[in-house]
């Protein structure tokens, strides 16, 4: 019998997941809440505004698998609510989602179970945090403990900047996320993201990517949710990949089980490749955005059985196959992002971009106005391209970007520069 899958979310990540799941011979019906203009071409989109709405929809419409895209509903316990009524869920429990929801929780877990990470201090008191800064070497990293939409991390170059970041967080600049803060040593090296599908017991490597957080070329400008990504990254060798799984992912899985919070879903490890080996910067407990877009383009075969196996504790004998080709994703954002931006501008040329060889455009912040596709968010489009090398994928992606007619948008022109160089 064909299966019904419901995806929660409205971004480029969810469009990429929908695009891949729509190709599965096992999936007969695809739904998304709330979705976007691109997802609406593949799935039925619904407005389900509460956990109760989602739970009753899953029962009423006989949903075979719920896939939760963003972190907020995971931290709020949506997976627990649905598992209580026997709906298979791809995503961790609220207790397990603390790996993303609380940086202090993750640091304590790493220290307790000897998982390699940066040295740190944890504070709920401003005076104690400021005292801790005395005599420290810089740069230092100051982090809000809770969810801050990827923006609660300050790299302080000197004592003055660190003190400012501490005061800022305790004065409420990140809301409840900054009631507790973590101050940690600055790690030198190259950053990379590694993904592993998990079923509570087993973890299966699911590719890696490098993203670009800064708004402008040359890694300049403010931090964003991500302006582009590419995979594979030359820096992540087979040896390193094995070492990360062995020293970081598998010990985390064992630790979470021991702590009574077995992890199911996807573990997204933000890593720093230091001279003394890979160290964990932070965990996310859902697929990355825009990393998912490149992983879905590289993945061969059917995604549905893997997500279902993760949800039902049966990953042990599963395999993931990735193409050898490279993929680049260029994020097109509304002018002004990540600050205030204008919504409602019309986007043209999407068909021309999609018609180019190896190109797929995923929608992030879009909606439909009559026949027009219009911008409805900060990050609006994700232009992806496949190539034999990163350089070839880079060229193809920017050809597609240039086919899109959207004067109110902008993008970085140097996505993948490390690998291209």
Better pLDDT: 172 or 237: 237
Architecture per CATH, 119-185: 2-Layer Sandwich (3.30)
- H helices of 61-101, in order, are 71-75, 78-83, 98-101
pLDDT score of 193 more than 90:
yes
Tens of pLDDT, residue by residue over 299-334, are 999 999 999 999 999 999 999 999 999 999 999 999
CATH superfamily of 190-322: ATP-grasp fold, B domain (3.30.470.20)
Residues with Cβ within 8 Å of 25's Cβ and at least 6 positions away in sequence, in order, are 302
Per-residue pLDDT at 177 exceeds 80 = no
Pairwise CA distance, residues 344 & 376, whole Å: 6
| pLDDT given at position 418 | 80
CB of 44 within 8 A of CB of 320? no
With a CB cutoff of 8 Å and minimum separation 6, the contacts of 352 are 403, 404
Average pLDDT value for residue range 201-223: 94
Candidate from 9-18, 166-175, 180-189, 307-316 with smallest mean pLDDT: 166-175
**Total number of residues shown for the chain:** 421
Across the range 217-244, mean pLDDT stands at 94
Kindly report the number of other CB atoms within 10 A of residue 150's CB atom. Answer: 16
The residue among 240, 249, 121, 141 whose CA lies nearest residue 187 is 141
Residues spanned by CATH 3.30.470.20 within the chain? 190-322
Question: For the chain, where do the domains classified as CATH 3.40.50.20 start and end?
Answer: 3-93
Note the pLDDT of residue 67: 98
Predicted local confidence at residue 173, as pLDDT:
77
Paired strand residues for 204? 197
Q: What is the pLDDT of residue 393?
A: 96
pLDDT band at 233; cut points 50, 70, 90 = very high
CA dihedral over 39, 43, 48, 53, signed as positive or negative: negative
pLDDT band with cut points at 50, 70 and 90 for residue 126: confident
Average pLDDT on 100-129 reads: 93
pLDDT tens per residue across span 142-159: 999 888 776 788 889 998
Examine the pLDDT at 49 and tell me if it is beyond 80.
Answer: yes
Instruction: Quote the CA–CA distance of 403 and 32 in Å, as a whole number.
Output: 28
Please tell me the distance from the alpha carbon of residue 328 to that of residue 238, in angstroms, as a whole number.
Answer: 20
Global pTM value: 0.95
Q: Quick one: pLDDT at residue 211?
A: 95
Report the alpha-carbon distance of residue 419 to residue 209 in Å, rounded.
11
Do 327 and 230 meet the contact criterion of CB atoms below 8 Å apart?
A: yes
In percent, the amount of the chain with pLDDT more than 90 equals 85
419: confidence class by pLDDT, cuts 50, 70, 90: confident
CATH says 3-93 is which class?
alpha beta
Distance of alpha carbon 332 from alpha carbon 320, whole angstroms: 29
d(CA 11, CA 332): 13
Write down the pLDDT at residue 338.
93
Distances (CA, A) of 405 to 38, 193, 351, 400: 17, 32, 11, 10
Q: How confident is the model at residue 246 (pLDDT cuts 50, 70, 90)?
A: very high
CATH class of 326-420: alpha beta
Average pLDDT over residues 257-285: 96
Work out the pLDDT band at 206, boundaries 50, 70, 90: very high
Neighbours of 42 (CB within 10 A): 18
CB 235 within 8 A of CB 271: no
Residues of the chain with CATH 3.90.600.10: 326-420
State the Cα–Cα distance between residues 369 and 123, nearest whole angstrom: 48
Query: Within 13 A of 66's CA, how many CA atoms are on the CB side?
Result: 30
Q: Is 268 helix (H, G, I), strand (E, B) or coil?
A: strand
CB-based contacts of 41: which residues, under 8 Å, 6+ apart?
Answer: none
């Amino acid at each position: 019998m064909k299966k019904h899958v419901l995806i929660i979310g409205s971004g480029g990540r969810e469009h990429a997941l929908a695009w891949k799941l729509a190709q599965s011979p096992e999936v007969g019906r695809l739904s998304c809440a709330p979705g976007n203009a691109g997802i609406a071409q593949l799935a039925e989109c619904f407005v389900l505004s509460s956990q109760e709405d989602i739970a009753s929809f899953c029962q009423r419409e006989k949903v075979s698998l719920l896939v939760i895209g963003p972190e907020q509903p995971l931290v709020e316990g949506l997976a627990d609510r649905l598992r209580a009524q026997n709906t298979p869920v791809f995503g961790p429990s609220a207790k397990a989602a603390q790996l993303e929801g609380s940086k202090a929780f993750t640091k304590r877990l790493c220290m307790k179970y000897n998982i390699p990470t940066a040295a740190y201090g944890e504070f709920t008191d401003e005076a104690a945090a400021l005292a801790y800064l005395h005599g420290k070497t810089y740069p230092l990293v100051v982090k809000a403990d809770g969810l801050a939409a990827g923006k609660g991390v300050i790299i302080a170059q000197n004592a003055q900047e660190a003190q400012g970041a501490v005061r800022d967080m305790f004065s409420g600049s990140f809301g409840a996320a900054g009631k507790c803060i973590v101050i940690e040593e600055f790690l030198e090296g190259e950053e990379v993201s590694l993904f592993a599908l998990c079923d509570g017991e087993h973890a299966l490597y699911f590719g890696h990517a490098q993203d670009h957080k800064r708004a402008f070329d040359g890694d300049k400008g403010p931090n964003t949710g991500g302006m582009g990504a590419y995979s594979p990254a030359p820096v992540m060798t087979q040896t390193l990949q094995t070492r990360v799984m062995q020293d970081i992912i598998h010990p985390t899985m064992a630790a979470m089980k021991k702590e009574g919070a077995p992890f199911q879903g996807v573990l997204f490890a933000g890593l720093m490749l230091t001279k003394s080996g890979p160290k964990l910067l932070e965990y996310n407990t859902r697929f990355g955005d825009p990393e998912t877009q490149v992983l879905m383009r590289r993945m061969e075969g059917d995604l549905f059985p893997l997500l279902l196996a993760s949800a039902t504790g049966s990953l042990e004998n599963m395999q993931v196959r990735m193409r050898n080709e490279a993929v680049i994703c260029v994020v097109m954002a509304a002018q002004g992002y990540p600050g205030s931006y204008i919504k409602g501008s019309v986007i043209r040329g999407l068909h021309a971009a999609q018609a180019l060889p190896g190109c797929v455009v995923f929608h992030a912040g879009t909606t439909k106005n009559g026949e027009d596709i219009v911008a409805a968010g900060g990050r609006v489009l994700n232009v992806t391209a496949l190539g034999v090398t990163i350089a070839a994928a880079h060229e193809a992606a920017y050809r597609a970007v240039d086919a899109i007619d959207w004067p109110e948008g902008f993008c970085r022109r140097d996505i993948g520069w490390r690998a291209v160089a």
